[in-house]
Structure 1
Amino acid sequence: MKIKKSIEKIPGGMMLVPLFIGALVHTFWAGAGEYFGSFTNGLMTGTVPILAVWFFCMGASIDVRATGTVLRKSGTLVLTKIAVAWVVAMIASSFLPEGGIQTGFFAGLSILALVSAMDMTNGGLYASIMQQYGSKEEAGAFVLMSLESGPLVTMLILGSTGLAVFEPQAFVGAVLPFLVGFLLGNLDLEFREFFGKATHTLIPFFGFALGSTINLGVILQTGLLGILLGVAVIIITGIPLILADKFIGGGNGTAGLAASSTAGAAVANPVIVANMKPEFLPAAQSATALVAACVIVTSILVPILTAYWAKYQNKNGKAKISGSGELPLQEAKA
């Protein structure tokens, strides 16, 4: 049976399919973890420790050596993405309550959802698109995008806008596993290869654990809103990214549009942040559902839009499409 291949045909499938299974279990049998106890309960409730290990392995997989072009391109895209999310948070804080909107069509929309959906790019999706429609240097720009993974950037944005106050040790605790992994991976190549292999393996596990905290009723309630938010992410982050790529990164905007997605790992951020700051707990579940919808919507639309943009640029003599053949559009990593 080609189960893995079938799952990978779904955008972000290795993250979202286990998440949906976990949500099914939680919706129809919320006490399953407690009933079975032991390791089963640990797997269903272990979002934070699983993510801690994944974050460590992610750090170990990143090579500190990179060309100036790669650093310039990736730095431009990463900083632009974060800056846009910060501006959105500042604007949204003037009219959105801390716990999010509770009633009406926009029920579930919160600052936590907006920041989590916009501050992280799907690096694997970006790399696969740029291997086909960009240069090797542009594809390699996903290196710094890995630094966005995890709750640190979300915490920094919420903290810098005054929406939340995090103790200094909370920031250190959020990034320490990543830094330790990064250090070991660059001190010893064998460590990088050893731990780097686990980055993909752990994705289904924290997807399932995260899903085990979600009631599917919330996802149904955020259905159309989730789709609209996904489109909004592409528009709101995509336009500044295209401009930054053209005028700072030295590209033609293709890389910027390819970076306008939501990372699969962003689905975990609302719950992690809410565990650190309980005032976000009322918004966490709806925010998780909305971010999951954004992952799916952006994973489908961003490759299509980028392809049209690249062909338009090529037609006008502003770009040259490179690459060899069609690549799968699912995430290479969360």
Structure 2
Amino acid sequence: MNILKRINKIPGGLMVVPLFLAAGINTFFPNALKIGSMTSALFSPAGIGTLIGAALFFTGTQLKIKEAPEIIKRGGVLLIAKFLAGFLLGLLVEKVFGEAGLFGISTLAIFSAVTNSNAGMYVALAAEYGDEKDIGAVSLLALNDGPFLTMIAIGASGAAHIPLMSIFATILPMLIGVILGNLDHDISDFFKPGIMIMVPMFSFALGSSINYTQIIVAGPTGLLLGALTLVVSGGIAILADRFINKRPGYAGAAVSTAAANSVATPATIAVVVPAFADIVPVATAQIAAAVIFTAIVSPFFTAFIARKYGCPKMAKNETTV
């Protein structure tokens, strides 16, 4: 039936097709993947952490210790670019439009959505178009997965507490892979195919947390927030990746998403800054729509940048022709 070949013809197909399929199932049959046991453990949101953890372990086995400075540089540049995109956009909206926000999109929603990126989506896209060092950059990008940078962006950094143990727990599977891969090259070779194998697996799990009706509930403002997140944060990150990292830019496009965790950020921020409490419900719905919008569009955006400016995957394909 040539299913795999047809999927590979779609930009980011190994991620997009499972993502869309799972989102459709979750939208129309929300309990189908939550029947318990192995089915839920593998195909529902419960499996996201395990599957991404396995992908990070496999990636770690391919990284060499001498490559650590390059990984830190790539990840650090993308992290700062993503933060600045959300901070500058939120600041601009606040100065120009005040508390009313941009067409009903508050600065809280902008700060929450634009400063955060979907780590799972980034790993999938980096695996699809980049190399092991691109995937390794997620160890730094994990810092923006949550409310911490958002708190800094809105001026509440004094109340923010970054759980170092949580960050360490995120990168530990990769560190174990790095140690094993550097101790024995056979281990590195053995686990190498696992990186791409995991992409459709955790993409499906990611999709199972998406419900298309959230876009309808949020309305045009949620779509606009998603578009702003994609264009502004993606644009700045692409420029930073191209001119600072001296890379093609696909990794910058891969952080153009809004993190799923950012949906809970307004409520978290409101605990610290009670003045935001009244706008939490609207901001939450808008961010949920932005998460779905960017999850759908970002893979196509990243594929466009990869085709336009090149990427390791395409370079490899050209050498094998």
Q: TM-score, normalised by structure 1?
A: 0.66
Partner of 2:115: 115
Aligned 8 A contact 1:261 1:295 in 2: yes
Aligned 8 A contact 2:77 2:240 in 1: yes
CA 1:279/1:102 → structure 2, altered by over 3 Å: closer, same or farther? farther
Which string of whole-angstrom CA distances, capped at 9 and with x for unpartnered residues, describes residues 279-305 of structure 1? Answer: 389477435314313522422431354
Offset of residue 154 of structure 1:
2.1
The answer on 1:24 being equivalent to 2:13 is no
Offset of residue 22 of structure 1:
1.0
Aligned 8 A contact 1:21 1:211 in 2: yes
Offset of residue 124 of structure 1:
4.8
CA 1:200/1:173 → structure 2, altered by over 3 Å: closer, same or farther? same
Offset of residue 92 of structure 1:
5.2
Query: Helix, strand or coil: the match of 2:33?
Result: helix
Within the candidate set 166, 186, 191, 2:182 is matched to: 186
Work out the CA distance in 1 between the residues paired with 2:198 and 2:114: 26
Work out the CA distance in 1 between the residues paired with 2:319 and 2:305: 14
CA 1:105/1:16 → structure 2, altered by over 3 Å: closer, same or farther? farther
Q: Unaligned regions of 5+ residues in structure 1, if any?
A: 128-141, 250-254, 308-321, 329-334
Aligned 8 A contact 1:241 1:257 in 2: yes
CA 1:146/1:216 → structure 2, altered by over 3 Å: closer, same or farther? same
Offset of residue 103 of structure 1:
10
More helix by share: 2
Partner of 1:158: 148
Higher relative contact order (CA 8 A, sep 6+): 1
Within the candidate set 194, 197, 200, 2:193 is matched to: 197
Query: Helix, strand or coil: the match of 1:31?
Result: coil
Within the candidate set 79, 96, 99, 1:82 is matched to: 79
Offset of residue 233 of structure 1:
3.7
Query: Helix, strand or coil: the match of 1:261?
Result: helix
Partner of 2:254: 262
Which string of whole-angstrom CA distances, capped at 9 and with x for unpartnered residues, describes residues 90-119 of structure 1? Answer: 4356568xxxx9996759954343234499
Instruction: Compare 144-153 and 184-193 and name the one that shifted more.
Output: 144-153
Q: Unaligned regions of 5+ residues in structure 2, if any?
A: 95-99, 270-279
Offset of residue 306 of structure 1:
2.3
Partner of 2:4: 4
Residues 266-285 of structure 1: matches in 2 within 5 Å? 269-271=259-261, 279=268, 282=284, 285=288
Which string of whole-angstrom CA distances, capped at 9 and with x for unpartnered residues, describes residues 199-252 of structure 1? Answer: 11111111111111110123565556545543334422233334325xxx5xxx
Aligned 8 A contact 1:59 1:178 in 2: yes
Instruction: Compare 49-58 and 145-154 and name the one that shifted more.
Output: 145-154
Identity of aligned residues (%): 21
Residues 1-334 of structure 1: matches in 2 within 5 Å? 1-34=1-34, 36-43=35-42, 44=44, 45-65=46-66, 77-91=74-88, 106=105, 110-117=110-117, 122-124=125-127, 127=130, 142-149=131-138, 152-155=142-145, 158-159=148-149, 161=152, 162=157, 164-219=160-215, 221=219, 222-223=222-223, 226-227=226-227, 229-244=229-244, 255-262=247-254, 269-271=259-261, 279=268, 282=284, 285-306=288-309
Aligned 8 A contact 1:33 1:41 in 2: yes
Q: Which amino acid is the alignment partner of residue 85 of structure 1?
A: K
CA 1:193/1:102 → structure 2, altered by over 3 Å: closer, same or farther? farther
Query: Helix, strand or coil: the match of 1:182?
Result: helix
Aligned CA-pair RMSD: 4.2
Which string of whole-angstrom CA distances, capped at 9 and with x for unpartnered residues, describes residues 63-89 of structure 1? Answer: 3345xxx966x6654432222123234
